[in-house]
Amino acid sequence: MKLFSKTPHKEDQKVHFELYKRYPITLEKGLGSRVWDAEGREYIDALAGIAVNNIGHCHPRLVKAIADQSGTLMHISNFYTSKPQVELAKRLVKLTGLDRAFFCNSGAEAIEGAIKSARKYGHTKGKSGPIITMDGCFHGRTLGAISAGKKKYQEGFEPMLPGFKQVPFNDIEALTKVVDDQTVAIMLETVQGEGGIVPAEKEYLKAVRKLCDKHDVLLIIDEIQCGIARTGKMLAYEHYGIVPDIVALAKGLGGGFPIGAVVAKEKVSKALDYGQHGTTFGGNPLATRAALETLDIIKDEKLIRKAAVDGEWFMSELRNWAETEDAITDVRGMGLMIGVELSFPGAGVVEKMLHKGILTNCASGNVMRLVPPIPITRLELTALLVALKEAVAEEKASIK
């Protein structure tokens, strides 16, 4: 394969905030599990826009739905209702087992809505305690989200918003010690994404639900990255047999079109009065129509089962490899949300895989995050595995 240019897109460097350490390719087209750059090179996408393109790039049905809706009605503001918004709210209420939905434009906005809703509920109950979050969590990059998250994302943006406390993830004893009747909420990801693809332990999450019930504490589940069929269930918390009080959704919900949602129990939504939260663009007809079509595609193409079956097969292949490769310290995940933990930093592996025609990503420094479009074929997954083996071997050799 011909190597890509060593210089990132020059115009981008001149005009865009220098916030992203971009790879020096410009992508121009996508279809299914493949993307093509400006020079015509083809890649298997094992990142899916960071677990966004769950139904694949440019699914023909989604493209048509967006085109049809954009020719009818795109935006009206939330002073008025639209059929796609009402239908999507009904669908999400049914899928989540909750009562009411609020729409926004991104995952971080969904988290902000969840935090505000929880705090308002806490005020109605006379609570003055914190929202408890987990070490290693990532909930977005707004000020509220980073106040709830890792210290590394807070540096330079102090003072942080008060009212948050962190405890170790998957440690029910540590959590129990800090929860009391004044605690407002516990917020966690069912599977930590940026934290290195770390699933909640089954008994842990069940115990968290019981602890919340005991103290009238809201359980906020962040399903932004792990939700929408990614783990072999529509929502990852279904693996655990629990229902949260609030769930935050985004990423895969729109199939590549920006949309976020907060879905909550009636008691939570009723704590908010008219005008205490809102959005201009959230839940517009175009975004909600895209989400409806995405959910229909997932159902019609049986992508939930596919994520479960292919994920189990692929993790088995990865674990078989890990038994004979000392550079691999762990393989974990659910469905097609998989982390391969390395014994050394993974940035070099990501770059080597790019040269081999595979788009990947490294989370938490040394965990290869594999979150391909769910329609990816076994042949493509095999090609991904071959490239990963080669890249790990090459990187290991280069650092000895």
* Helical ranges in 7-46 per DSSP H: 10-15
**CA–CA gap between residue 230 and residue 306 (Å, rounded):** 10
395 touches 361 (CB < 8 A): no
Question: Is position 344 annotated as part of the catalytic site?
Answer: no
Q: Tens-digit pLDDT profile for the chain (400 aa)?
A: 344 444 456 788 888 898 888 888 999 999 999 999 999 999 999 999 999 999 999 999 999 999 999 999 999 999 999 999 999 999 999 999 999 999 999 999 999 999 999 999 999 999 999 999 999 999 999 999 999 999 999 999 999 999 999 999 999 999 999 999 999 999 999 999 999 999 999 999 999 999 999 999 999 999 999 999 999 999 999 999 999 999 999 999 999 999 999 999 999 999 999 999 999 999 999 999 999 999 999 999 999 999 999 999 999 999 999 999 999 999 999 999 999 999 999 999 999 999 999 999 999 999 999 999 999 999 999 999 999 999 999 999 999 7
**CA–CA gap between residue 109 and residue 302 (Å, rounded):** 29
Q: Which of 251, 306, 352, 356 is catalytic?
A: 251
**CA–CA gap between residue 10 and residue 373 (Å, rounded):** 30
Single out the residue of 145, 356, 141, 335 nearest to residue 226, CA to CA.
335
Six-digit token string for 5: 């240019």
Question: Is position 222 annotated as part of the catalytic site?
Answer: yes
Six-digit token string for 387: 């490239």
Question: Is position 138 annotated as part of the catalytic site?
Answer: yes
Q: Which of 127, 164, 222, 314 is catalytic?
A: 222
Six-digit token string for 116: 């505000």
257 touches 290 (CB < 8 A): yes
